Structure 1
């Protein structure tokens, strides 16, 4: 007997490998998957302007990257002893305006360069609600704890999102003919919107993505992370204490499903080899000066070099260099 609904995940026709360059944009769920890709040694860039939630703000950031925009102090505002940008997460905020701009532009340059080279753009939408400034109607990515009276809040319909994104995707594909885009909807529940409004918001995102994927079927795909958590895991034990964010166990399960759907057999085997070896590399005995530990470290170095020999595109040069230096101290 089957006591759960297994959400089908179609295998990608062009699967993701360690040879690919990847850029991730979107909610903190994108950062969770991004960190797993990084830990498995994929060539990844994550949110060059910080965490983003709504499709309008993500489109604004992509416009910045496509147009190679650079910020100046005039693009910032001052509040609470800090300089902020309405298009950036608070991790970019700084007491020094020049340092704030320098950090912003460094990430924009890196993100723009990666977007031109990327094989995959992975985008996670969190909500269809946006906040706009009263004074000019501009959608902001972050309110930076300013008074609510400065903003209007509204839910964007799927048709309006599509109108904003269709010309942007055309420009992306023209700029980078090899680019493919994967969309996901974050399983994080925005309960501050209200339970019903959260469902309406997610529905608009799903309708919007579905239309994009039908219009660009050869180069846009959808991965059902939202459905996996809500329909397959379907239990509060897979949410954290706040009942909004998936637990680490849930994210690991989504990673397993993602791996099955998106990675080739060679990539999955390499991931498993690396997981075992990374665990060994992180092992530290109580007495590292023993001959036994030296032999253990030598075996790890041998395994690292074998992996590099077998998978020349798998960049573990730092690990090899670090272990060689460590062995010289024993």
Structure 2
């Protein structure tokens, strides 16, 4: 009996992710979920240097500024609720001290410039087509930082506009890293504050825009995380308590589907070894001074040493 609608996924045959890969994740908060998984398994990964970015225009701005080595100054900042903010970045980078924020921004720009050139895979998760334009400067912002909404115009990016933005992103990335693999996905998290119908329209614009630009010959791909959530996991038991965000079970399920599509068979063996070590590290003994526990710790150190000798960048 078939009790689930399965999204057909094919195993990629080239440029698979392994422990030599260098990954950069940009975009919506779902990229944080996948990034945390990659960190857990000790892959070479960086995520969201400017914090969570929800829409494609914000991601394009970050990539453009990083490649051009933009230097942020006080004119790029705004003061709101006793903190300094930048419209290009998430509030996670905001600070009470203006110079601290500028240092955070410029350090992130420098590191992102290097990561864009060195990455083997860049995974971009798009969350919404809705954007906010700051009326005073006529500029689309990445984050409104709780500034009164009357100071912004809310706009919906058209499919054509999203296509142009994504084409620009791909061109920028290929200009500094011609062999990079670019994986697009759409966040399964619904932006219901925009409205139910508006959220569906927003997601459809993103999906249509992505499918206008993906081309395996140019190493640009699509992973259907949104479709997996909507069809394979079409049940509220796969949602968190807010009934909007995916539950831990759903995140794990989509992660497993991502592994199937994109990870080399060699990396799976190493992942299993690292998972054993991670469980060992989190183990809490009844008697930490017992001979049995000391032997357990000794065996754990042997396993760690085996991994770190094989991959010098891994540490526990």
TM-score, normalisation: structure 2: 0.96
Tell me whether 1:307 sits opposite 2:307 in the alignment: yes
Specify the SS of the correspondent of 2:214: helix
Tell me whether 1:95 sits opposite 2:93 in the alignment: no
Specify the SS of the correspondent of 1:23: strand
Structure 2 match to 1:272: 272
Q: How far 1:314 sits from its partner (Å)?
A: 6.0
Task: State the distance in 2 between where 1:80 and 1:307 align.
Answer: 47
Task: State the distance in 2 between where 1:167 and 1:291 align.
Answer: 61
Specify the SS of the correspondent of 1:135: coil
Specify the SS of the correspondent of 2:193: helix
Q: How far 1:292 sits from its partner (Å)?
A: 1.9
Task: State the distance in 1 between where 2:148 and 2:311 align.
Answer: 50
Question: Per-residue displacement from partner, 1:44-90 (whole Å, max 9, x unpaired)?
Answer: 11101000111111111111111111211221011111111001111
Q: How far 1:197 sits from its partner (Å)?
A: 1.0
Question: Per-residue displacement from partner, 1:166-223 (whole Å, max 9, x unpaired)?
Answer: 2332221121122110000000011111111111110000000001104x64310000
Worse-matched range after superposition: 31-40 or 234-243: 234-243
Q: Size of the alignment, in residue pairs?
A: 315
Superposed, which structure 2 residues align to 1:18-167 within 5 Å?
18-167=19-168
Q: How far 1:108 sits from its partner (Å)?
A: 1.7
Q: How far 1:99 sits from its partner (Å)?
A: 0.8
Task: State the distance in 1 between where 2:303 and 2:166 align.
Answer: 46
Task: State the distance in 1 between where 2:148 and 2:225 align.
Answer: 34
Structure 2 match to 1:16: 17
Specify the SS of the correspondent of 2:122: strand
Specify the SS of the correspondent of 1:227: helix
Structure 2 match to 1:289: 289
Q: How far 1:307 sits from its partner (Å)?
A: 3.2
Aligned-residue CA RMSD in angstroms?
1.4
In the alignment, is the contact (CA less than 8 A) between 1:77 and 1:83 conserved in 2?
A: yes
In the alignment, is the contact (CA less than 8 A) between 1:119 and 1:179 conserved in 2?
A: yes
In the alignment, is the contact (CA less than 8 A) between 2:54 and 2:127 conserved in 1?
A: yes
Task: State the distance in 2 between where 1:315 and 1:77 align.
Answer: 38
Q: How far 1:308 sits from its partner (Å)?
A: 3.9
In the alignment, is the contact (CA less than 8 A) between 2:180 and 2:219 conserved in 1?
A: yes
Structure 2 match to 1:183: 184
TM-score, normalisation: structure 1: 0.92
Task: State the distance in 2 between where 1:303 and 1:135 align.
Answer: 58
Task: State the distance in 2 between where 1:241 and 1:281 align.
Answer: 30
Task: State the distance in 2 between where 1:192 and 1:167 align.
Answer: 29
In the alignment, is the contact (CA less than 8 A) between 2:15 and 2:181 conserved in 1?
A: no
> Which aligned segments of 4 or more residues in structure 1 are displaced greater than 6 angstroms?
none
Task: State the distance in 2 between where 1:254 and 1:285 align.
Answer: 32
* Structure 1, gaps ≥5 residues long: 320-330
Task: State the distance in 2 between where 1:101 and 1:65 align.
Answer: 14
Structure 1 match to 2:228: 228
Structure 2 match to 1:298: 298
Question: Per-residue displacement from partner, 1:284-314 (whole Å, max 9, x unpaired)?
Answer: 31322222221111111112223345xx236
In the alignment, is the contact (CA less than 8 A) between 2:184 and 2:221 conserved in 1?
A: yes
In the alignment, is the contact (CA less than 8 A) between 1:45 and 1:111 conserved in 2?
A: no
Task: State the distance in 1 between where 2:175 and 2:276 align.
Answer: 41
